[in-house]
Structure 1
Amino acid sequence: MQANERACFFTTPHKLGQKIAFYFAVQSGGSFDIDYEVTGPSNKVILNGEKERQGDFVFTANELGDYKFCFNNAMSTYSEKFVDFEIAVEDEVRAQLPAKQGSSPEQTTVLEESIYKISGQLSTITRNQKYFRTRENRNFSTVRSTESRIVNFSLIQIAMVIAMGGLQVFIVRFFFQGARKGYV
């Protein structure tokens, strides 16, 4: 996002009661913060925040219509930002697996529960990977910033050492030139 830019994105759930997952993370730029706002179809604010680095939210769609997800970079006057985000609409209804002949309903239920548990753990792993990727990008940006400061400080020190050396040579020459003039 450019400085002073506002960008909005929309999603539409097809049924009442669907879950809407909203994730965002500022990957680079400025202080890694951004303002966000989520509004429902009746323009009621569902979520909002200022100067947030990242967020991971899930809410239930209680109305049908367009849900608006807006990011605002108005607080930044010159810094553009790279924002990673994901909006997903999901059903929470569990699919019924057809039972095999000769298997008991308890076995099928245990298998289903195991599959749902694995699915939930996979979602957790995915969220953690996004979080760690965001942290890695922020830390890399900090390292780049520190590196450029060290380089600039070193160049200034080199220039000062050269200037001091030149000034010392000039002062020593001045003393010896002044001493000869007085004795001649």
Structure 2
Amino acid sequence: MSRTLALAVTLWLAAYARASALTAPIPANARQCYYADVDKAGEKLGFYFAVQSGGSFDIDFEVKDPNGKILLIGQRERQGDYVFTANHIGEYEFCFENDMSTLTEKLVDFDIMVESEPRRDVPLKPGQIADQTSALEESIYRLNNMLMKIKRTQQYFHTRENRGFSTVVSTQSRIFWYAVFQTLTVVGMALFQVYILQAFFTATGRRYKV
């Protein structure tokens, strides 16, 4: 009985929400769009993104409904977490634009989630079965909310780790090239001093006939 109940809960949760988690590189001066289908009006759309690496960790984004109306727009955003109601049936467009960078590629993690807004109606059966079903649904909703919070926390720490690693790599590269430049400068100054001293002693050692 418990296995059957667990299987039913799993299938119900799978039918309740549809989500896609992706990691996409956005080249410099490029625009990339992704799409999500909404089957009926009133569904919830969740949109989360975070720039993992590249430049100042920022990106432009835009969300449009099937009629081409702009629902969300942002410029030079590092990350965002949005939930809104889809009022129209059709294909919703989620675009990232990296026009502010002429050379740097951006790596973006993002989730697009489609889920039904209204809850499933409790069966109108008198007695204990209806009460148990209602309590089970409430437990499922609470569990789903907790899992979503854990997922967002994991994504936050994942983003922080990637940004920290990118900063460390960039700092190491700058230190390396600064050390190379400093070494070349010291060697160049030493050679220049040798040349000046050699030229000075050569000039003072000359003999001129009158």
Fold match by TM threshold 0.5: yes
User: 1:121-148 deviations in whole A, cap 9, x for unaligned?
Assistant: 1101111211221222122211111111
Q: Gaps (5+ residues) in structure 2? A: 1-25
Aligned to 1:157: 182
Secondary structure in structure 1 of the residue aligned to 2:165: helix
| Superposed counterparts of 1:7-26, under 5 Å | 7-26=32-51
Name the structure 1 match of 2:156: 131
Alpha-carbon shift at residue 112 of structure 1 (Å) = 3.9
Provide the rounded CA distance (Å) in 2 between the counterparts of 1:67 and 1:112: 29
Aligned to 2:145: 120
Q: Is 1:52 equivalent to 2:77 in the alignment?
A: yes
**What's the TM-score, normalizing by structure 2?**
0.73
Computed over aligned residues only, the root mean square deviation of the Cα atoms, in angstroms, reads: 2.7
Q: How does 1:8-157 map to 2 (within 5 A)?
A: 8-95=33-120, 109-157=134-182
Contact 2:66 2:89 in 1 (8 A): yes
* Equivalenced residues, count: 180
Structure (1/2) with the larger strand percentage:
2
Residue pair 2:54, 2:106 contacting (<8 A) in 1 also: yes
> With structure 1 as the length reference, what TM-score do the two structures score?
0.82
Task: Say if 2:122 and 2:134, in contact at 8 Å, map to a contact too.
Answer: no
Shift in Å, 1:89: 0.6
Q: State, as a whole percentage, how many aligned pairs show the same letter.
A: 53
Deviations 1:34-93 (A, max 9, x none): 211111122221111111111111111111121111222223222222222221111234
Q: Secondary structure at the match of 2:28?
A: coil
Higher alpha-carbon deviation: 110-119 or 63-72: 110-119
Q: Take 1:41 and 1:181, find their aligned partners in 2: how far apart are those partners?
A: 89
In 1, are the aligned partners of 2:57 and 2:106 still within 8 Å (CA)? yes
